[in-house]
Amino acid sequence: MSNGLTTLNPQQPKTAAMAERMAEVKGRSLWADARARFLRNKAAMISVVVLGAVFVFAFLGHLLTPYDNETIDWNVLGKVKELGKPSLENGHYFGYDDSGRDLFARVVQGTQVSLMVGVIGAAIAVIVGTIYGAVAGYLGGRIDSVMMRFVDIAMSVPYMFVLILLLVVFGRSIEMIFVGIGLTAWLDMSRIVRGQTLSIKNKEFIEAAVATGVPSFTIIRRHVVPNLLGVVVVYATLLVPQMILTESFISFLGLGVQEPLTSWGALISEGTSTMNYGTLWQLFFPLAFFVVTIFAFFFIGDGLRDALDPKDR
């Protein structure tokens, strides 16, 4: 009787030597598959490089310039339109801001703040929101109801007061901004995750897991969450720009980062108010960084989604 395996699997060893070599071949996990897919996605890889460059700029950019983010050049103050243009000779690569300070140094420092806010804020939102939403959605019933009503309340509470109180309690610091932004970001994520969970939990493989006696939290961890990852990843990449913009909204209201510290949001806001007056570079540079970073996160998000999608061929 012919061995079906032999004809179907060309790797079936025909000699002992081949059998030995085969033992060295490791199986490929699904995560490795995903990573391979991701690495093949050109747009995503370019974006990773670009994002890396932005990070390098943020944390090492101050080495490229002798200027800091707060010293005013008194000769330029008040005449920024004429004297403040970007130039390579005098070392002010991005020109001056409206208060006579070096814009390059300020953009470097602003990039640090915004990246941290964006990434850490989004990370908090993703982790807390996903867990909360998945638990609520999976457990259902009264627990779900209570947890979601709590989310409703948290969404409707006047956010400004929360910020004002946070400011009073924590004083003005970067940590306060993280807390302030993180407090509300996870709410949206939790609702989206809960919605997806409601749909997933009725699928057959969950039924099977329940039937074989897998405990609830293990089901959530091993079966629900990985199937959510597509939506979570995409939404997370939407969250990063949203965090940055929320931070700028907070600064716009006077509750955020304190001078002389700055962020992209604050720089863009200042640049917008002077855009009519002939100093467009003040808007262009921070906005350019912001846009490039968003695009990068977008393509990475898409790449991750495509890579992690178990049904993608």
Closest CA to 179 of 128, 131, 213, 229: 128
Per CB under 8 A, which region of 15-23, 30-38, 69-77, 175-183 contacts other proteins? 69-77
Under the criterion CB under 8 A, does residue 205 sit at the interface with other proteins? no
Number of residues in contact with other proteins under rule CB under 8 A = 79
Q: How far is the CB of 95 from other proteins (least distance, A)?
A: 16
- Among 214, 269, 280, 284, the residue binding other proteins under the rule CB under 8 A is 269
Under the criterion CB under 8 A, does residue 173 sit at the interface with other proteins? no
Nearer Cβ to other proteins, position 3 or 241?
A: 241
Under the criterion CB under 8 A, does residue 162 sit at the interface with other proteins? yes
Q: From residue 9 to residue 28, what is the string marking binding to other proteins with x (rule CB under 8 A)?
A: --------------------
Under the criterion CB under 8 A, does residue 260 sit at the interface with other proteins? yes
Taking CB under 8 A as the criterion, which residues in 220-249 touch other proteins? 230-231, 234-235, 238, 241, 245, 248-249
Under the criterion CB under 8 A, does residue 159 sit at the interface with other proteins? yes
- Among 196, 223, 236, 300, the residue binding other proteins under the rule CB under 8 A is 196
Asked if residue 114 lies in contact with residue 261, where contact means CB atoms within 8 angstroms, the answer is no
Nearer Cβ to other proteins, position 10 or 254?
A: 254
Q: How far is the CB of 21 from other proteins (least distance, A)?
A: 36
Give one DSSP letter per residue of the chain, joined into a string: ---HHHHH-TTS-SSHHHHHHHHHPPPPPHHHHHHHHHHH-HHHHHHHHHHHHHHHHHHHGGGG-S--SS---TTTTT-HHHH----STTS-TT-B-TTS-BHHHHHHHHHHHHHHHHHHHHHHHHHHHHHHHHHHHHH-HHHHHHHHHHHHHHHHS-HHHHHHHHHHHH-S-HHHHHHHHHHHHHHHHHHHHHHHHHHHTTSHHHHHHHHTT--HHHHIIIIIHHHHHHHHHHHHHHHHHHHHHHHHHHHHTT-SSPTT---HHHHHHHHHHTGGGT-THHHHHHHHHHHHHHHHHHHHHHHHHHHH-TT--
Under the criterion CB under 8 A, does residue 298 sit at the interface with other proteins? yes
Q: How far is the CB of 23 from other proteins (least distance, A)?
A: 35
Alpha carbon 168 to its chain centroid, in Å, reads 28
Q: How far is the CB of 242 from other proteins (least distance, A)?
A: 8
- The whole-angstrom separation of Cα 192 and Cα 226 is 15
Q: How far is the CB of 120 from other proteins (least distance, A)?
A: 20
- Among 44, 135, 224, 255, the residue binding other proteins under the rule CB under 8 A is 255
Under the criterion CB under 8 A, does residue 106 sit at the interface with other proteins? no
Under the criterion CB under 8 A, does residue 40 sit at the interface with other proteins? no
- Among 187, 220, 240, 300, the residue binding other proteins under the rule CB under 8 A is 187
Under the criterion CB under 8 A, does residue 110 sit at the interface with other proteins? no
